[in-house]
Structure 1
Amino acid sequence: MQTKTVLFIILAAVVALFLVLFQYYYKRKIKGKTTIVLSFLRFISIFGILLLLINPKFVKNNYEIVKTNLIFLVDNSSSIKKEETLVKSLLEKLTTNKALKDKFTIHKYAFGKEFSTLDSLSFLEQNTNISKALLTTENIYARTNSAVVLLTDGNQTIGQDYEHLKLKKDITIFPICIGDTTKYNDIRIEQINSNPYSFLNNQFPIEVLVNYDGTSQVNKTITISVDGKKEYQEKISFSKNNSSKTIATNLKALSVGVKSIEVHIEALEKEKNVVNNRKISFIEVIDETTKIGIVSSILHPDIGTLKKSIETNKQREVFILKPTTSLSELGKIDLFILYQPNSSFSSIYNYIKQKQVNSLTVTGVKTDWSFLNAIQKNIKVQDNYPIQEVIPKMNQTFSKFDISDFKSIDYPPLETNAGPIIFNDNSESLLKMVVKGVDIDNPLCVVLDNNVTKEVFWFGENIWKWRVQEYRNSKEFKNFDDFIGKIIIYLTSSKNKDRLNVDYKPVYQGNNNSKITATYFDESFTFDSNATILVTIQNKNKEKKIEIPMLLKQDFFEVDVSNLQPSDYTFTVSVKDKNYSKKGSFSIKNFNVEQQFLSSNYIKLQSLAYDSNGKLLFPNQVSELENTLLSNKAFVPVQKRTENIVPLVYFRILLGLIIGALTLEWFIRKYKGLM
C-alpha cells in the first residue's frame, strides 16, 4: 500500500474521531456507557464511509503448481496404417504411465490434412501436414513449457517443410520414427508441372521431375501419354551423383475436353515400390477461338486485308459471309464486321439486335447511308456529299483502350463520301478526320458502348493501303495488325453479366481440395450474402443423388465434396426461390499420395529434434523416452504466484459493518428516547 494511501486512512480516522467527539461530547452533560457505545458505532460508520471513498487497494497472492505440458501428436495418415497396432500400443503405454501423469499435464492430438483432438485413430487420412500440426500446437500452448512426442513416419505430403520450422524455444520435440527405416533402391515420378488449361491446337508445356535412390548406374525410359496415346518418350540415365532429372517437352492440344496425362518411368530390377513409377495429371483443352464474320455484298481488297490482319492471332477465325447467310450459320459468329452495308443487310441487323452481338461497321463510297441511318439509332450521317480523301489523326484523350503504340506515319488517305456525323453520348472518337490538312469535326473511327453491346464505326475505305504502307515503313505488319487487334479485343471482351457464377475443377486428384465455389449477385450486382445456394450432385451412372447447401465464406459460397467416392459426377448449382442455376461436371480420380512412400524419413525427423533440443527415438526406445522426460530438469513443475490487487470497495463485509453500525445506533437512540 502506498504511503499516500496510509496518510489518507490516518486522516480519515482523525476526521471520524473529531466528528464523534463534536456530536456526542461537545457541550453535552449526559455521559455514560450508552454515550460510549453510540459514539463508537458512529465512529465505525463514518470511518467506514471515508474508507470507501479513499478505496485503498490490497494485494492478494494465489499460489498454484503448474506442470509441463506433454503433448502427443499422432500421425493418422494411411502411410502408417500397417503400423496401426504398434502406434496404438506406444500411445497407450506412454499416456498411462503414472510417473509421467504425475509430472506432466498430458494432451493428445491427431493430424493428417487437418489437426484435431485425438478421439480415435483410423489411419485413413490421405494427406499428412506435419508442419501445420506443430505450428498449431505452438499457438495453443504459447508461453508455456511443453514437450511434444511426435509419432509419425516423417513423410509429409502437403504444407510447409517441417524440417526448417522455427519454433519457440520452450517447445522440445521428441519424434518417434514409425515404419521401416531401410533405404531401398527406388525410382519415382516426383512431380508433374503443367498448366491447368490449354487452347485447342496450341502446344502446352509439360515438365516432369524424376528422382532416383540408388548407387548403381541405370538407364530407364520415361513415357508421356495423353488419353492412353504415347506422345513422348526418352531414355535417361541416373547414378548416385546424378539422382534427379527434369524432363521438359511441349505437347499439342488436338481435341477439346479434359485430357489425362500419364507419365511412366521403367521400374528398377527388384524395385519394391512401383506405385510411384506412374503419375497422372490432367489438363482441360478449351476452344477459345473467336469466330468473326465479315459480311459484304461487294468484293473489295479491304476484306482480305481485315481477314489477314485479324487472323495473325491464331485464336481468331474469320469467315466471309453474304448478307443472305442463314441464321444457323450466323449463330456460330461471335463478332460481325459489316462492310459497306446496304438494304440487303436488313436480316443481319435484325439478328444483331435480337442476339445483342457486338459489331464493327466499315463504311465507304458504296455505303447506303439512308439505310444505315434508318436501321440503327447510334449514329446519323448526312449523305449526298462528294467523295473526298481523309487522313487519320489520333485522339490523344481516347480512354476505352490503349492506342499509344499505334503510329500512322505516311499512311495514305482513305476515301469517304460521309457528311457531318452525329453520334450519341456513349460514343468516343478513336481517330479523327483531316481533309487537305484541315481538322474537321468528324470522326474517322468512333467507339460506342451502351453497357449491352459494343459497336465501332469506321468511315473510310481502302484500309488495305494502310497495311501495305506499314510494310514499306517497317518491313512488317505488326503496328497495323496490333491496332486492328486491339479493336477486335475490345469488341470481343464482354462484361460478365451473370448473377450466378460457379468455379470448380473438372478433375480432382483423390479427395484433396475437392471444392466447388459460387458467387451470387442481386439485381444491382452486389454480392448477396443472404442467398441460399444449393448443389445437387449425381453420379453419372445415376446411382445416387444428393443435395448439399453451400456454406457462406466471406464473399463467396463453398461446398466440400471430398467425401465422394472416386467417380464421374454431374452437378447443378441453384439459388433457392430464384430462377438461377448453373450445371457442370467433374471427376474424382482414385489417387492416394500416401502410397508413394516406402520408407520413413528419419533424417528430417532427426533434424527437427536437433533444432528443438529434443531427440529422435524409435519404437524400441520408448523406455529411454520415459527416462528422459522424467529426468530432464527443464520439465520440472513450477510454482506459479498470481498477484491480485483487490480494491476495498469489493469487500462486502465493510459495507455490512457500516450498515450494521448505523442501524444499531438508530435502535439504541430510539430505545433510549434520544431521537
Structure 2
Amino acid sequence: MQLQTVFLILFAAILALGLVIFQYYYKSKSKGTLYIALSFLRFVALFCVFLLLINPKITKEQYSLEKANLIILADNTSSIGQANGVNQLVNAKKLIEENTNIAEKFDISEYVFGTELNSLDSLSFSEKATNIGRALSSLNEIFAGSNTAILMLTDGNQTLGEDYEFSGGRQKFPIYPMVVGDTTSYQDIRIDQVNTNKYAFLKNKYPMEIFVSYQGNNTVSTTLTITETGQNLYREQILLSETENSQIINTVLNASTVGIKNIKISLSPLENERNITNNSRQIGIEVIDEKTNIALVSNMLHPDLGALKKAIESNEQRSVSIIKPSLSPNELEQFDLFIIYQPDTSFEKVYSYIESKGANIFTITGPKTDWTFLNKVQNSFQKNSYDQKEEVTPILNAGFTHFDISDLVVSEFPPVETTLGELLITASYENMLSQRIKGVDLNEPLFTVLETNLRREAILLGENIWKWRVQSYREDQEFKKFDDFISKVILFLANSKPRSRLTLEYENIYQGFNKATIKATYFDETFVFDNNATLNLILSGIENNTSRQIPMLLKNGYYEADISTLPSGDYSFTASVKDENLTKTGKFTILDYDLEKQLLSSNYKKLDRLAKSTNATLYFPSQVSKFIEDIIKDNRFVPIQKSKQNVVSLIDFKILLGIIVAALTAEWFIRKYNGLI
C-alpha cells in the first residue's frame, strides 16, 4: 500500500472522529455509556464512507508453477500399419502417457498427422499421405513462445509437402523422433515421380519425365514400359547400381485421340524384390481439341501482368500472350478473349476490333487509366474520376451467383490502388467484391461481372492484384486458391453459352490419395441460389459393378458430394434436382495409387538428421525408458515459477456498505428506543 493512501486513511479516521465529537459532545451536556455507543456507531459509519471514497488498494502477489509442454505427435498414415508399426507406436505412446514422472514435469498434448495436423481423438492409421513438414510448422504456430518438446512417432517417410529435413533449422522446439516400423533396408527399385501435363492437345506431342531410383548394393537391370490400355507406347532398358542409383527418363508421346487417357508406367521387378507396389505408377491425361488464346493488352510493365499470366496458365487449356495495343487487326484475330490493363488513348484500335468482333473483355483499371478515353470508347460503364488515388480493400459478396467463389477468402488480402469517383454501370451486373476504404464499406463495385445478350465482361477497379496472389501463397504455401478464382473468371468470360440453373464442378481425373469431391450450384428460376433444394448424385462404374446414390450436402454457397471412398476405376454420374426436370451428367476416373505403400523401410537416417538439427536425439521403440530418463533429466524443461501481481481493493465495497447500513440502522433504533431525536 502506498504511503499516501495510509495518510488518507489516518486523515479519514481523524475527520470522522472530529465530526462525531462535534455532533455528540460539542456544546452538549449529555454523557454516559449510551452516547459513547451512539458516537461509536456514527464514527464507524462515517469512517466507512470515507474509506469508500478513498478506495485503498493493495498489491497481491500470486505464484504459479508453469510446466513445459510435451507434445506427442503420432503418424496416422497407412504406412505405419506395415511391419508391426502400429503395435510399436501404440505401446510407446502408452508407456509415456502412464509414466508419473513425465506427468509431474510436463503438460502433455497429443496430436496426429497425415496430410494435416489434428488433435488426437483416435488412431485409425487410414490417412493416405504424410506431410510431416506441415504438422511441425503448425505446432510451431500453436505453441509459439512456450517451453516445448516434441516426441514424433513416425516412420519418417514423407509423401507430401515441404521436406521436413530442410525445415529443421526453422523449428523452434527440440524434436525427438521415435522410429516405428521396419528399419531393415531391402533391395528395391521404384518410380519416385512422374511429371507431365494435365492436358494435351489433339495431334500434338506431350512430354513426360520419369524419376527412377534404386536401393541396393548390386548392379541391376530393369525395363521401363509405358502403356495405355494394354498398348505399348514406350520401352527402355535401364541399368542402376549402388553408386549410380537414380535416372531421369524423358520421352515425348503422341496425343492421337480425344478423351481421358489412363497411362501406366511400370518397371520390371528385380529378383526377390520385396516391394513391387512402387514399381508402377498410373497417371491420367486429358486430350482436348481446343485451347483458349487470351490477349493481355498493356502499354506498361507491371507485376500484375505476370501474376495474371501465371494464374490463367495454371490451367493448361489456356494460353496468355502479353501484347502491346499497337497490334494490327490481323494479329488480333488469333485471340479469343481480351484482358485490357489500364487503357489509354493508344488502345483505340484494340477497342475498335473488340467492338467489331463482339469479343468478351476483362477490363482492369487503376491510377494510370485514362478515364476520359475509356468513358468514350465503350458504353458498359462510366466513371467520373477525381484523379485522387486511394487504397481499397475487398469485401466478398457471399451471395454471388454466376460461379462458385465460396473457397475465396479475401479478409487478409492487401489493398489495391484505385482512383476515387462515381461509377455508373449501364448493363446488368453482379458484384464479386465491393470496396472498403479505411474501414468504411462503400457499397461500390471493386470486382464485378456484366452480362448482356451480346457479350460478357468483367471489371476490376484497382491495380496491384499481384499482392493477392502473394497473400494466397502466404496462407496456403501455394497459389491454388487465387489461381482457381482467376480461372473461374476466365471460364465465365470464355463461355458464351446461356447460363444454366444447375452447374457442376469436378475433376476429370482424381489421384487415389487426394480428397475427391463433386460440387454443384443450383439456382431457382430467378437465378438466385436455392439453399433448400435436394440434390442427388447417381454413380455407376464403367468397368466395375459399383453403383451408388450419394446425397449432395449443402456447404457455404454450393452443394458437395464426397466420392473419396470409391474404389479406383472409371465412373459416369448423373446429378439431379428433386422435383425439377434438371440433370447434368459427366465422367471421371479415380486412379489406383497409394503413396503410403511406396516405401516399406523407415527413414531413420533422415529423422536422425532432423533430431540433431534441433538439438535432440533419435530413439527407437525399445528405448522408451531411455527417452523418459533423458527428457526428465534435461534442464531445458524444468518447471518455471511465475508470479502475477494483482491490484485489489483493501476492503470489498459490499462489506463497507453493509457496515455503514448496519451502523446507521443500529444508531437509529437505539435513539428511537431511548426517545432521542
TM over 0.5: yes
Contact 2:282 2:592 (C-alpha < 8 Å) held by counterparts: no
Q: CA deviation at 1:594?
A: 0.8
Q: CA deviation at 1:141?
A: 3.4
Contact 2:534 2:552 (C-alpha < 8 Å) held by counterparts: yes
2:581 corresponds to 1:587: no
**For 1:215 and 1:534, how far apart are their aligned partners in 2?**
58
1:133 aligned partner:
135
TM-score normalised to structure 1 length: 0.65
2:665 aligned partner:
663
**For 2:672 and 2:636, how far apart are their aligned partners in 1?**
70
Contact 1:57 1:647 (C-alpha < 8 Å) held by counterparts: yes
**For 1:286 and 1:159, how far apart are their aligned partners in 2?**
30
1:22 aligned partner:
22
Contact 1:216 1:239 (C-alpha < 8 Å) held by counterparts: yes
Aligned pairs (5 A) from 1:107-186: 107-165=109-167, 171-186=173-188
Contact 1:535 1:548 (C-alpha < 8 Å) held by counterparts: yes
Q: CA deviation at 1:56?
A: 3.3
Aligned pairs (5 A) from 1:464-483: none
**For 1:451 and 1:538, how far apart are their aligned partners in 2?**
36
Q: Which amino acid aligns with 1:547?
A: I
**For 1:158 and 1:397, how far apart are their aligned partners in 2?**
46
Q: CA deviation at 1:524?
A: 7.5
Question: In the superposition, relative to structure 1, how do residues 79 and 568 fare at CA in structure 2: closer, same or farther (>3 Å)?
Answer: same
Q: Which amino acid aligns with 1:200?
A: L
Question: In the superposition, relative to structure 1, how do residues 70 and 250 fare at CA in structure 2: closer, same or farther (>3 Å)?
Answer: same
Q: Which amino acid aligns with 2:64?
A: E
1:260 aligned partner:
262
Q: CA deviation at 1:625?
A: 1.0
Q: Which amino acid aligns with 1:16?
A: A
Q: CA deviation at 1:150?
A: 1.3
Which of 75-84 and 133-142 deviates more? 133-142
**For 1:24 and 1:573, how far apart are their aligned partners in 2?**
95
**For 1:673 and 1:427, how far apart are their aligned partners in 2?**
95
Q: Can you list the C-alpha shifts for 1:533-561, whole angstroms capped at 9, x where unaligned?
A: 634243336754333343424x6554433
Q: CA deviation at 1:529?
A: 8.2
**For 1:229 and 1:288, how far apart are their aligned partners in 2?**
26
Which of structures 1 and 2 has the bigger CA Rg?
Answer: 1
TM-score normalised to structure 2 length: 0.65
Length, aligned pairs only: 499
**For 2:652 and 2:520, how far apart are their aligned partners in 1?**
55
Aligned pairs (5 A) from 1:547-558: 547-553=550-556, 556-558=558-560
Q: Select which of 398, 405, 412 maps to 2:351.
A: 398
Aligned pairs (5 A) from 1:297-312: none
SS of residue paired to 1:502 = strand
1:213 aligned partner:
215
**For 2:163 and 2:70, how far apart are their aligned partners in 1?**
24
Q: CA deviation at 1:520?
A: 4.9
Q: CA deviation at 1:616?
A: 0.2
Question: In the superposition, relative to structure 1, how do residues 450 and 550 fare at CA in structure 2: closer, same or farther (>3 Å)?
Answer: closer
**For 2:256 and 2:651, how far apart are their aligned partners in 1?**
85
Q: Which amino acid aligns with 1:127?
A: A
Question: In the superposition, relative to structure 1, how do residues 492 and 514 fare at CA in structure 2: closer, same or farther (>3 Å)?
Answer: closer
1:354 aligned partner:
none
Q: CA deviation at 1:511?
A: 4.5
Q: What percentage of residue pairs aligned between the two structures are identical?
A: 45
**For 2:607 and 2:515, how far apart are their aligned partners in 1?**
27
**For 1:427 and 1:63, how far apart are their aligned partners in 2?**
69
Q: CA deviation at 1:643?
A: 2.8
Q: Select which of 616, 626, 629 maps to 1:614.
A: 616
Question: In the superposition, relative to structure 1, how do residues 271 and 34 fare at CA in structure 2: closer, same or farther (>3 Å)?
Answer: same
Q: Can you list the C-alpha shifts for 1:33-73, whole angstroms capped at 9, x where unaligned?
A: 33333333233333323333333333223333333333222
Aligned pairs (5 A) from 1:251-400: 251-288=253-290, 396=349, 398=351
Q: CA deviation at 1:565?
A: 3.6
**For 1:641 and 1:131, how far apart are their aligned partners in 2?**
36
1:49 aligned partner:
49
Q: Which amino acid aligns with 1:257?
A: G
SS of residue paired to 1:181 = coil
Question: In the superposition, relative to structure 1, how do residues 396 and 118 fare at CA in structure 2: closer, same or farther (>3 Å)?
Answer: closer
2:190 aligned partner:
188
**For 1:590 and 1:157, how far apart are their aligned partners in 2?**
16
Contact 2:281 2:593 (C-alpha < 8 Å) held by counterparts: no
Question: In the superposition, relative to structure 1, how do residues 624 and 531 fare at CA in structure 2: closer, same or farther (>3 Å)?
Answer: same
Q: Which amino acid aligns with 1:48?
A: C
Contact 1:535 1:547 (C-alpha < 8 Å) held by counterparts: yes
Q: CA deviation at 1:633?
A: 2.0
2:76 aligned partner:
76
Contact 1:551 1:559 (C-alpha < 8 Å) held by counterparts: no
Q: CA deviation at 1:278?
A: 0.8
**For 1:595 and 1:567, how far apart are their aligned partners in 2?**
19
Question: In the superposition, relative to structure 1, how do residues 249 and 4 fare at CA in structure 2: closer, same or farther (>3 Å)?
Answer: farther
**For 1:129 and 1:582, how far apart are their aligned partners in 2?**
36
Q: Select which of 623, 626, 629 maps to 2:625.
A: 623
1:652 aligned partner:
654
1:386 aligned partner:
none
**For 1:44 and 1:501, how far apart are their aligned partners in 2?**
81
**For 1:580 and 1:42, how far apart are their aligned partners in 2?**
88
SS of residue paired to 1:208 = strand
SS of residue paired to 2:165 = helix
Question: In the superposition, relative to structure 1, how do residues 542 and 261 fare at CA in structure 2: closer, same or farther (>3 Å)?
Answer: closer
SS of residue paired to 1:664 = helix
**Aligned-residue CA RMSD (Å):** 3.8
Question: In the superposition, relative to structure 1, how do residues 543 and 64 fare at CA in structure 2: closer, same or farther (>3 Å)?
Answer: same
Q: Which amino acid aligns with 1:536?
A: L
2:405 corresponds to 1:452: no
Q: CA deviation at 1:596?
A: 0.3
Contact 1:212 1:238 (C-alpha < 8 Å) held by counterparts: yes
Q: Select which of 566, 570, 576 maps to 2:568.
A: 566
2:36 corresponds to 1:33: no
Q: CA deviation at 1:119?
A: 4.1
Q: Which amino acid aligns with 1:25?
A: Y
Q: CA deviation at 1:254?
A: 1.8
Q: CA deviation at 1:605?
A: 0.9
Question: In the superposition, relative to structure 1, how do residues 57 and 253 fare at CA in structure 2: closer, same or farther (>3 Å)?
Answer: farther
Question: In the superposition, relative to structure 1, how do residues 58 and 497 fare at CA in structure 2: closer, same or farther (>3 Å)?
Answer: farther
Q: CA deviation at 1:265?
A: 2.4
Q: CA deviation at 1:516?
A: 2.2
**For 2:207 and 2:522, how far apart are their aligned partners in 1?**
35
Tell me, which stretches of 5 or more residues in structure 1 are unaligned? 291-314, 316-357, 359-393, 404-424, 429-448, 456-488
